[in-house]
Amino acid sequence: MMINQRNRIGDFELDTVVGPRGHSKAVLLTLIDRKSRFLWAYRLKDRTTATVNEALTKFLTTFNGPVHGFTVDRGTDLVG
């Protein structure tokens, strides 16, 4: 699979980072380009589908390059 070969810009790993339970409601959406390892991070108000979609739309409209695909882990944080 071409994504696993990490030979082109535009294949991204997508995840959320959540602060410790009970201490923080901070959530980050992270996008990492698999080839360059460049990181984009967006602070979210929550982990709802609408909020994640809003951040992804912002990324897609401002990223000046090809987007071939997103890889997510099997966690439940991006299920919606």
Quote the pLDDT of residue 75. Answer: 63
Structure tokens at 2: 């071409």
Query: Where do the domains of the chain lie, and which CATH numbers do they carry?
Result: 2-72 (3.30.420.10)
What is the rounded distance in angstroms from the CA atom of residue 80 to the CA atom of residue 72? 13
What distance, in Å, lies between the first and last C-alpha atoms of the chain?
A: 26
Higher per-residue pLDDT: 48 or 75: 48
**What value, to the nearest 5°, has the Cα angle with vertex 54 and ends 48 and 40?**
100
Quote the pLDDT of residue 2. Answer: 64
Whether residue 1 is predicted with pLDDT greater than 70 in this model: the reply is no
User: For the whole model, what pTM was predicted?
Assistant: 0.79
Whether residue 77 is predicted with pLDDT greater than 70 in this model: the reply is no
Which of these, 38, 21, 18, lies nearest to 78 by C-alpha position? 18
pLDDT in tens, 15-52: 998 877 767 777 999 999 999 999 999 999 988 889 99
